[in-house]
């Protein structure tokens, strides 16, 4: 048997009330359909997955342009059976077809493998689940021997059928030859005037084809997204699963309900993460790190023993061992901090390299800079990197001391061991090992008096 995978994703997703196609809405920072595509690829199908697109299909295609996919268009959305029919010309008769839904993102590789391996040859496999509130979903009808005999959509169901709690998940494993025989014969005489894929169940019963059902480990795996409330429920479930996995691997989360990963997160051991931390893109964290509350870490690399204090934002940066950052610090892209660097409150660093043991502890902007080791940057220091048209570099040697409230007007270099007097506006290079000051000379005006308030007449 060779495996073909078809993902249905042509529907409008009306209930999202959105300009964005439903399957492109994000869950855990990745579109719904990308989750499904990643799962499909993990099953090693013989050919790239086939995705049926229609409504706003171009956007879906664009969003997945880096994945190998065979695209099929369903010009009019006439129902799930009609959608799958469009994919059949791409599938050899001898294949078996795994049907997935673009709006049901958390189906697991394990459950699908179980569906594939448990379905006997020449039988139909289907994933079903018991939902306490099955409203809106297709119901599984079984006979007295517990065999599946039909799927009834809610809109076509009378009260007896509506009371059934076993639902159709929309995942099937079916020999292609059956689909090629049955799908062209579907009709749309139902409440929604659609060609229902689910109607092939009744056809298979008529032809005495066995139907085998499999249940997922978590019902959330088969939870389809139709509106934003469902999206939020599934987002929380997804985050909770990730949180539990990390805790099992040795990460302390002070509250797993207030933890969000929107991308890929890799963490070493004995890391503590406080509440409301958001991880975006690709984030790697070493061991023995502490991340304070309300931080955002995006595309960042943290080595061992780093501490990020409350309310800091780190993006596109590489932070070496034992750096201490924050609270209220902002590290922007292309920043590299060597070991033991301290960045304090209200400090912004952009596109800069700060070498070992340097401290920038209060109220500074450092951009387009190279700062040596063991440097002390005083409170309120600004690198003036922008002349209104171009960006220029500030280069500071090892062991430099920059006095508070200094402006370093780039391009400028401060030699090794230099001291800059507080309040200086440095526009020319400062020599090594000497004190450079550039500010108005302090004078005292004797006998000067404060103006007095004139008496009201
Ligand atoms: C479908 C099932 C229902 C099941 C539910 C599970 C049918 C008739 N019903 O209902 O039994 O309980 O899924 O979530 O199959 N699509 C197309 N083209 C179309 C229509 C739909 O590609 O013309 C795609 C959608 O983009 C979506 C999937 O098929 O990814 C399911 O369609 P949807 O309209 O959401 O079906 P449900 O009413 O949820
Ligand atoms: Ca649906």
Residue nearest to atom 19 of ligand 1 (CA): 79
Query: Does 404 reside within a domain?
Result: yes
* Whether residue 283 sits in one domain with residue 198: no
d(C-alpha 221, C-alpha 215), whole Å: 10
The residue segments making up the domain with residue 167 are 3-222
Catalytically active residues are: 362
Same domain, 257 and 400: yes
Q: Which ligand has the minimum distance to the alpha carbon of residue 23? A: 1
Angle at 298 between CA 293 and CA 299, to 5 degrees: 140
Q: Is residue 441 part of a domain?
A: no
Q: Is 233 a member of any domain?
A: no
How many structural domains does the chain have?
2
Contact 21, 55 (CB under 8 A): yes
Ligand nearest, relative to CA of residue 138 = 1
- Same domain, yes or no: 160 and 299: no
Exposure of 400 in the CB half-sphere (CA atoms within 13 A)? 28
List, run by run, the mean pLDDT of 10-residue segments along the chain (457 residues): 94 91 97 98 95 94 97 96 98 97 98 98 97 96 97 97 97 98 97 97 95 96 96 97 97 97 97 98 98 98 98 98 98 98 98 98 98 98 96 98 98 98 98 96 94 86
Whether 453 is covered by a domain: the verdict is no
Q: Is residue 391 part of a domain?
A: yes
23, 36, 80, best to mutate for ligand 1 pocket (most atoms within 8 Å of CB)? 80
**Ligand 1 nearest-atom number relative to CA 82:** 23
Asked, for residue 60, whether it belongs to a domain, the answer is yes
Same domain, 43 and 191: yes
> Is the separation of the CB atoms in 362 and 344 below 8 Å?
yes
- Identify the residue whose tokens are 């599938």: 91
CA of 2 to the centre of ligand 2 (A): 27
Same domain assignment for residues 202 and 266: no
Ligand 2 centroid to 455 CA: how many Å? 81
158 and 258 in a common domain: no
Closest alpha carbon to 373 in 417, 432, 422: 417
Whether residue 279 sits in one domain with residue 352? yes
For the CA of 105, the nearest ligand: 1
Question: Of the residues 207, 222, 237, which one is the last residue of a structural domain?
Answer: 222
CATH number, domain containing residue 368: 2.160.10.10
Ligand 1: list residues with CB < 6 Å. Answer: 8-11, 52, 74, 77-80, 82-83, 101-104, 137-138, 151, 153, 167-170, 196-198, 224
Are 41 and 164 members of one domain? Answer: yes
Single out the residue of 403, 396, 398 nearest to residue 419, CA to CA: 403
Nearest ligand, CA of residue 169? 1
Nearest-atom number in ligand 1 for the CA of 78 is 23
Q: Are 10 and 64 part of one and the same domain? A: yes
Q: Given the CA of residue 7, which atom of ligand 1 is nearest to it? A: 30
My answer on whether 313 and 179 are in the same domain is no
- If you measure from the C-alpha of residue 137 to the centroid of ligand 2, how many angstroms do you get, rounded to a whole number? 8
How far does the centroid of ligand 2 lie from the alpha carbon of residue 444, in Å? Answer: 80
Ligand 1 atom nearest residue 104's Cα: 14
Same domain flag for 324 and 199: no
CA of 343 to the centre of ligand 2 (A): 49
Integer Cα distance of 233 and 225 in angstroms? 9
d(CA 9, CA 73) in angstroms, rounded, equals 10
Q: How many whole angstroms from 102 Cα to the centroid of ligand 1?
A: 9
Residue 145 inside a domain? The answer is: yes
Task: Pick the residue whose CA is nearest to atom 22 on ligand 1.
Answer: 10
- Which atom from ligand 1 is nearest to the alpha carbon of 81? 15
Residue 443 lies in a domain: no
pLDDT computed for residue 55 by the predictor: 82
Same domain assignment for residues 217 and 275:
no
CATH of the domain at 92: 3.90.550.10
Question: What's this model's pTM, rounded to 2 decimal places?
Answer: 0.91
Nearest CA to ligand 1 atom 11: 138
């Amino acid at each position: 048997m060779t495996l073909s995978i078809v993902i249905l994703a042509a529907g409008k997703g009306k209930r999202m009330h959105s300009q964005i196609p439903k399957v492109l809405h994000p869950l855990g920072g990745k579109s719904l359909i990308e989750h499904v595509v990643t799962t499909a690829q993990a099953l090693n199908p013989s050919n790239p997955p086939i995705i049926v697109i229609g409504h706003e299909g171009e956007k879906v295609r664009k969003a997945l342009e880096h994945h190998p996919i065979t695209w099929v268009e369903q010009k009019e959305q006439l129902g799930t059976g009609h959608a799958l029919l469009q994919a059949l010309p791409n599938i050899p008769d001898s294949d078996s077809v795994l049907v997935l839904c673009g709006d049901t993102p958390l189906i697991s590789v394990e459950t699908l493998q179980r569906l594939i391996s448990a379905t006997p040859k020449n039988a139909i496999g289907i994933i079903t689940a018991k939902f306490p509130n099955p409203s809106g979903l297709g119901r599984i009808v079984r006979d007295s021997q517990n065999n599946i005999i039909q799927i009834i959509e809610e809109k076509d169901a009378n009260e007896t059928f509506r009371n059934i709690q076993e639902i159709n998940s929309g995942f099937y494993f079916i020999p292609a030859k059956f689909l090629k025989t049955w799908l062209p014969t579907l009709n749309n005489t139902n409440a929604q005037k659609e060609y229902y894929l689910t109607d092939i169940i009744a056809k298979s019963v008529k032809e005495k084809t066995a139907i085998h059902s499999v249940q997922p480990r978590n019902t959330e795996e088969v939870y389809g997204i139709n509106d934003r409330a469902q999206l939020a429920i599934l987002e929380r479930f997804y985050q909770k699963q990730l949180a539990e996995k990390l805790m099992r691997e040795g990460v302390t989360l002070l509250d797993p309900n207030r933890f969000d990963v929107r991308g890929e997160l890799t963490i070493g051991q004995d890391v503590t993460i406080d509440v409301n931390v958001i991880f975006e893109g690709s984030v790697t964290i070493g061991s023995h790190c502490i991340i304070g509350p309300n931080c955002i870490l995006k595309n960042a690399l943290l080595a061992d023993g780093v501490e990020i204090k409350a309310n800091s934002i780190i993006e596109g940066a590489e932070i070496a061992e034992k750096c201490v950052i924050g609270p209220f610090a902002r590290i922007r892209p292309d920043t590299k901090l060597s070991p033991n660097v301290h960045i304090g409150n209200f400090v912004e660093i952009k596109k800069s390299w700060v070498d070992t043991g340097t401290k920038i502890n209060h109220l500074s902007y450092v951009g387009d800079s190279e700062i040596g080791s063991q440097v002390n940057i005083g409170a309120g220091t600004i690198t003036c990197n922008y002349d209104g048209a171009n960006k220029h570099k500030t280069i500071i040697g090892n062991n430099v001391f920059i006095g508070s409230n200094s402006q370093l007007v780039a391009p400028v270099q401060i030699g090794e061991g230099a001291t800059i007097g507080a309040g200086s506006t440095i526009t020319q290079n400062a020599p090594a090992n000497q004190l450079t000051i550039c500010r108005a000379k302090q004078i005292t005006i004797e006998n000067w008096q404060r103006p007095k308030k004139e008496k009201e007449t």
